[in-house]
Structure 1
Amino acid sequence: MANVYLAHDEVLDRDVSVKLLRLDLRDDPNTQRRFEREAMAATQLNDPHIVGVYDIGEEHGMQFMVMQYVKGTDLKAYIKQHFPIPLPQVVDIMEQVLSAVETAHAHGIIHRDLKPQNILIDENKNIKITDFGIAIAAYQDSLTQTNTLMGSVHYLSPEQARGSIATKQSDIYSLGIILYELLTGTVPFEGETAVSIALKHFRDEIPSVRNKNRAIPQALENVVIKATAKDPADRYSSAKEMADDLRTSLDHSRDNEPRLTFNHDDDGETKVIELHHDAKPSKEEPKENHEEQKQPKRSHKITIAISSVVVLIAAAFGGWWYFGRTVVTPDIDGKSATQAERVLNAHHLQVGKITHQNSSTYGKNQVISSSPDASSKARIGSRVNLVVSSGVTKWTMADYVGSDYDSVASNLRDKGFKVEKKTVYSDKVEPGQIIKQNYAKGKVVKTANQTVLKFRPGRNQLRFLTLKVKILVRFKTSLIRTSCS
């Protein structure tokens, strides 16, 4: 329903995605409502695993949305390129997805179209969910237009396939199918038409992932089985419950777990249960037998004391079992210290000692290394020490005159320099290009407390901008709008 462009926010010096409603659909009320629903749903959600929306608006009758740019690919393409994916990474990907879905559900938003194509993965393997276009229209018929489900029918819950209203459990079913695809590289059901695939979802059992890969633990397959149960009541009650179960699915303590099955022998019909007379004390029972049933108060106290000891032992054992479990340390190299802490907390780990050192490879405040390092095991609740970059120690200054200010400033800041900008008027230099720098080419400069001054043209150059540029940047500054008009 839209075209998406990569753009650059000159005010905040960052890349963004601009989604522009297609011209041939801008007069379609259904498309307009879906576009508005996506904007409203996304702006309500603030989660590191959901693509953020920075701005929405309309220009010359065209609706647009400015969103966070995720440099990477979608999960569908990632699976094709990297399959088979290591099981710890599969669990990590799903935990991030579940975190985002849990946030959406907490705000009363059901995505309804969860699929790998709507899940983005960046260069650092961070996950972000996007496309909430049909999220809050949960009251509408899922099969009103069958042709529109071609891209989503592989992940459609049985109740949606029947035309019923989607619930949180519908999203959980889709998550189970996504987990199935991460483990096997394929979707469970294929067919010639969307209807034939939808029929399989509420008629056929999900194929066993262990039949395709015996290295998959039974505990992990059980997560797929429970998430994709035909009856929504048999599925996880929440995304958090699924995440909690998934988090321990690779633990050796669950190696002997049996295959999960559902017992539906009891169809819920009301039944009369007869009580046998011998369940009640007989009136003709000898008096001495009745008296034998009376327990002295002292025996009750002993029983209570023994029970208390058993409870304390069980609690101590449970605490030892929980905190004695291990998790795979995530890869946080290249992330900022804040991002690293968030990722570690999501894996039930804490940030330990932080040391700083200079680096010519990593930008300032980026994590150089961690201890224990990525992919190694660590106990739940343990601390991970970080080595964070202070930028380069010394830098041989290059000649930046005539270069683009934004890219040069970003590069120098990553190395630890403080960059200041002075705006001057010029009729000879293009807007955005550097006129002068306060350190000459070849000068060796220490980054600590050093400020590099950059000069760029001033406002008199803005009058030469075309109307096309004005449209692309109108949400960033009113100055350009005034100058162009």
Structure 2
Amino acid sequence: MNKFIGKRLDGRYEIRELIGIGGMADVYKAYDLMEDKIVAVKILKDEYSTNEDFKRRFRNESKAIAVLSHPNIVKIFDVSFGDRVQFIVMEYVNGITLKEYIEQQGVVGWKEAVHFTVQILRALQHAHDNGIVHRDIKPQNVMLLQDGTVKVMDFGIARFARDNGRTVSEKAIGSVHYISPEQARGEVTDERTDLYSVGVMMFEMLTGKLPFDGESPVAIAVKQMQAEAPAPRSLNDQIPEGLEEIVVRAMKKDPDLRYQTAAEMLRDIDEFKRNPSILFEYKYFTDDDSENYFDTTDPKYADVDEIVVKKRISPTMQILLAVTGAFVVIAVIALIIFFSALNNPKEDVIVPNLVGLEYEKVITNTEYTDHFEIVKEKEELSDEYEAGIICEQTPEKDKLVKDGYKIKVVVSSGLNTGVVPDVTGKTEDEAVKMLEDSGFTTTVVSLFNREVEVGKVIKTDPAANTETKKSEVVKVYVSSGSPTKEVTVPNLIGKSVSAAKAELESNDLVCGGTTEVDSDKPKGTVVGQSMAKGSVVLEGTSITLEVSNGNGIEVEVKVSVEIHNNSGKKADFVAYLDGKQVATTSAKNGTWNFTVKGKSSKTGQLTITANGNAYASGTVDFKNGTASVGGYQAVPKPEEPSSKPEESSSAPESSSEPESTVSED
């Protein structure tokens, strides 16, 4: 069980369930006892609590959000940077990420994409106006509420654009699929890098695809710097041309050719919303075009041709200048080649994540060895990884280094495990000391028990004499004596298992175990409890939970098939659901009715044959209890002689098949 769940931070924030896992911190749903409301608490992971760089980034996020107040940016309520736990208390957003929504939809309609983009740009405009560049804009960092409101979050690598204390060498890298070319190169970033990321998000929403992808972060980053993205309309021709032009301009490699501010991009989107057929003609510009492009048909440039004519030179001079220019170009190219060969500059590459990979496979994989020197620094026991797995690396992933850089790795020599000592009957202090002397971390849980003396250990979890990882927290259950007061059983239905257990503990009750059952509720959701809510029981009573396995419940759906038989004789019809025979009949014409069974979470494929040949097909939606059949084919004549009297109707092949009836015209 997560060590924070059920605990109170600063005596105020009651942690209820884990709702998000990040690289630097985890996010929990919590209850603010003082304000009587649900909040989100972001807690820096233990392994980073002594890392000054991560602590700085974590504090930087709180500073960044603290100066912002906008309806499209998550609010911050409180921060705490203690020695043991560092956390940020934020607005709790009940929704899904924009990334999850894109994955659900495949392609987001352009009107909806514009609706989301406008809100994101307004949030960024507010941040930029306050001197903050987000630098990690991606759909995973955008929350989508049920009413369509967008909330931008995770300012973990945000930079204060006006902070003179920052150095140019700071190269925080966002997610490679969405970073700007200058960010991938480790250059100084400004507001325009966020706008590039917005362009990538718009591309993904409108096409259902990322503009750049690859087998490794390095390959993707190189494409961000060098490759041209496909035109959005080449992937989805339903995108209005004007909207495509907005995306193309936002994703220009050269920051000077991009939108310079969020407000400027919003103005173009507003123009597009007023007139969806508008053309901006941005797509006719290339990264080599000048910003000072002008249209000579404009009256204010009427004298341009005349000016050019006055400045013309003689043909002879033009030839001499051309020859001279050619020699200069050749000389410059020669010098560039010479000095490039002399200095042999290496390209910038992004350090991959090697932690969790097999060391032997890494050192034989050219994806890594072509760009890096992998050096095993040492082997040591690991709290998390089996023998032979890389458990640490220096430098960390996503750092920008030169091609050929040396990556030092620590390889696991095996799991750091130990046998849990038997501390049953010991006092709390004695038990904790024995366990900690054995290398384990402990947490003490009070439990009502009539048999064990108050203050003595009842049991541990994991149990005594079992081998377990040293990183696992051992729960020490200490007797608090016989229960003396009555408590009311809370409603646990609809909660996650971890939230239900925390609710039981906060009401002085005990979870007596869980049982998985068929249910159409999401997997892991509590759907039943051994004692009904509102029941009055003694404190310490054990409550068993029924938990959904996510498979759905079995339901019956009625299927109707139209029989159009012009052969003049009865034909043999067979119905298959997902390849399994479910019903048969023999008939001339009419409507064939039968039922099929399946899990409420599934959709089944129907196939109907007539005399052994394809006749019709369809689907069964068990969740909504509906079936549709179509694509009817002509019925072939049955083979002669028929073994069945024409006027009789065959029964299903076995008694296990669903009931099948035909009402004939």
TM-score bracket, normalised by the shorter chain, equals 0.5 to 0.7
State the distance in 2 between where 1:276 and 1:2 align.
63
Identity %: 39
State the distance in 2 between where 1:184 and 1:28 align.
40
Map 1:8-27; keep pairs closer than 5 Å: 8-27=31-50
Q: Does 1:128 align with 2:151?
A: yes
Q: Does 1:63 align with 2:86?
A: yes
* Residue among 215, 223, 230 paired with 1:200: 223
State the distance in 2 between where 1:8 and 1:229 align.
45
* Residue among 111, 115, 135 paired with 2:138: 115
Contact 1:217–1:249, Cα closer than 8 Å, also in 2: no
CA offsets, 1:48-82, max 9 Å, x none?
00011100013452111100010011111111012
Name 1:41's counterpart in structure 2.
64
Distance apart, 1:181 and its partner CA: 0.7
Return the letter of the residue paired with 2:229. Answer: I
Q: Does 1:105 align with 2:128?
A: yes
SS of structure 2 residue aligned to 1:66? strand
SS of structure 1 residue aligned to 2:126? helix
Return the letter of the residue paired with 2:182. Answer: E
* Residue among 208, 222, 227 paired with 2:245: 222
* Change beyond 3 A, Cα 1:77–1:140: farther
Distance apart, 1:217 and its partner CA: 0.5
Return the letter of the residue paired with 1:47. Answer: H
State the distance in 2 between where 1:8 and 1:171 align.
33
SS of structure 1 residue aligned to 2:246? helix
* Residue among 196, 208, 212 paired with 1:173: 196
Distance apart, 1:256 and its partner CA: 5.8
Structure 2: 5+ residue stretches without partners: 1-23, 293-304, 312-486, 492-505, 509-665
Residues matched between the structures, number: 282
Contact 2:44–2:87, Cα closer than 8 Å, also in 1: yes
Contact 2:257–2:291, Cα closer than 8 Å, also in 1: no
State the distance in 2 between where 1:169 and 1:245 align.
16
State the distance in 1 between where 2:92 and 2:288 align.
51
State the distance in 1 between where 2:108 and 2:291 align.
42
Distance apart, 1:265 and its partner CA: 5.7
* Change beyond 3 A, Cα 1:430–1:79: closer
State the distance in 2 between where 1:141 and 1:198 align.
20
Higher strand proportion (structure 1 or 2): 2
* Residue among 186, 207, 210 paired with 2:233: 210
Return the letter of the residue paired with 2:67. Answer: Q
Name 1:262's counterpart in structure 2.
285
Distance apart, 1:20 and its partner CA: 1.0
Contact 1:74–1:119, Cα closer than 8 Å, also in 2: yes
Map 1:358-373; keep pairs closer than 5 Å: none
State the distance in 2 between where 1:253 and 1:76 align.
26
Name 1:160's counterpart in structure 2.
183
Distance apart, 1:158 and its partner CA: 1.1
Map 1:21-420; keep pairs closer than 5 Å: 21-59=44-82, 61-136=84-159, 139=166, 144=171, 149=173, 152-252=175-275, 254-255=277-278, 258=281, 260-262=283-285
Distance apart, 1:2 and its partner CA: 1.1
Name 2:650's counterpart in structure 1.
none
Query: What is the RMSD computed on CA atoms of the aligned residues?
Result: 3.3
Return the letter of the residue paired with 2:131. Answer: G
* Change beyond 3 A, Cα 1:59–1:72: same
Larger RCO of the pair (alpha carbons < 8 Å, separation 6+): 1
Contact 2:131–2:160, Cα closer than 8 Å, also in 1: no
SS of structure 1 residue aligned to 2:232? coil
Distance apart, 1:10 and its partner CA: 2.5
State the distance in 1 between where 2:106 and 2:119 align.
19
Distance apart, 1:159 and its partner CA: 1.2
State the distance in 2 between where 1:253 and 1:154 align.
28
Structure 1: 5+ residue stretches without partners: 280-400, 406-428, 432-485
State the distance in 1 between where 2:262 and 2:276 align.
23
Higher helix proportion (structure 1 or 2): 1
SS of structure 1 residue aligned to 2:40? strand
SS of structure 2 residue aligned to 1:254? coil
State the distance in 2 between where 1:24 and 1:92 align.
40
CA offsets, 1:274-310, max 9 Å, x none?
968979xxxxxxxxxxxxxxxxxxxxxxxxxxxxxxx
TM-score by length of 1: 0.53
Return the letter of the residue paired with 1:133. Answer: G
State the distance in 1 between where 2:94 and 2:308 align.
70
Contact 2:176–2:221, Cα closer than 8 Å, also in 1: yes
State the distance in 2 between where 1:187 and 1:104 align.
26
Return the letter of the residue paired with 2:203. Answer: Y
Contact 1:142–1:160, Cα closer than 8 Å, also in 2: no
SS of structure 2 residue aligned to 1:93? helix
Contact 2:119–2:150, Cα closer than 8 Å, also in 1: yes
Return the letter of the residue paired with 1:78. Answer: Y
* Change beyond 3 A, Cα 1:245–1:403: farther
* Change beyond 3 A, Cα 1:110–1:274: same
State the distance in 1 between where 2:243 and 2:269 align.
7
CA offsets, 1:239-264, max 9 Å, x none?
01111212332544635665622156
State the distance in 1 between where 2:308 and 2:146 align.
68
